[in-house]
Amino acid sequence: MLQHLCCLAQVCLALAVLEAPARPGAERPPRPATAAQAPDWQGFLDQASLARQSCVVLCGARPGNVGSTLRVCALLGLPFLVVIGLSRDKCKKAVELSQLGEDPGVSLVKPPLSLEVHEVLQRLRATGLSLLGLTAHSAGGKAKPVWNLKLTCPGVAFVFGREHDGIPPNAEMLLDEAATIPMVVDGEKGSLNVSHAAALVLYERRRNFAAAVDTGMPPKKKAADEAGGSPLKKAKKGKAAVWEWKDGSSWKAYADEDSQLCPETLNV
pLDDT bucket at 139, cuts 50 / 70 / 90: low
pLDDT in tens, 158-187: 999 987 778 999 999 999 999 999 888 766
pLDDT in tens, 229-238: 444 444 444 4
Give pLDDT, residue 83: 93
Give pLDDT, residue 87: 85
* Residues whose CB is less than 8 angstroms from the CB of residue 61 and which lie 6 or more positions away in sequence, other chains included: 69, 83, 86, 160, 162, 194
CATH code of the region 41-212: 3.40.1280.10
Residue ranges per domain, the chain?
A: 41-212, 216-262
Give pLDDT, residue 27: 33
Contact 65, 58 (CB under 8 A): yes
Contact 144, 176 (CB under 8 A): no
Distances (CA, A) of 57 to 4, 72, 124, 214: 62, 13, 10, 30
Pairing of strands 130-135, 177-180: parallel
Give pLDDT, residue 120: 97
CA dihedral 246, 248, 252, 253 (to 10 degrees): -10
Q: Which of 105-109, 116-120, 214-218 has the highest mean pLDDT?
A: 116-120
Q: How many other CB atoms sit within 10 Å of the CB of residue 53?
A: 23
pLDDT in tens, 179-233: 999 888 766 667 788 999 999 999 999 998 887 665 554 443 443 344 444 444 4
Mean per-residue pLDDT for 230-252?
46
State the alpha helices, DSSP H only, in the chain: 2-19, 41-51, 63-76, 88-98, 117-126, 169-172, 194-215, 219-226
262 versus 54: which is more confidently predicted? 54
> Is residue 264 scored above 60 in pLDDT?
no
Give pLDDT, residue 213: 63
Three-class SS of 141-203: CCCEEHHHCCCCCCCEEEEECECCCECCHHHHCCCCEEEECCCCCCCCCCCCCHHHHHHHHHH
Please state the pTM of the whole predicted model: 0.66
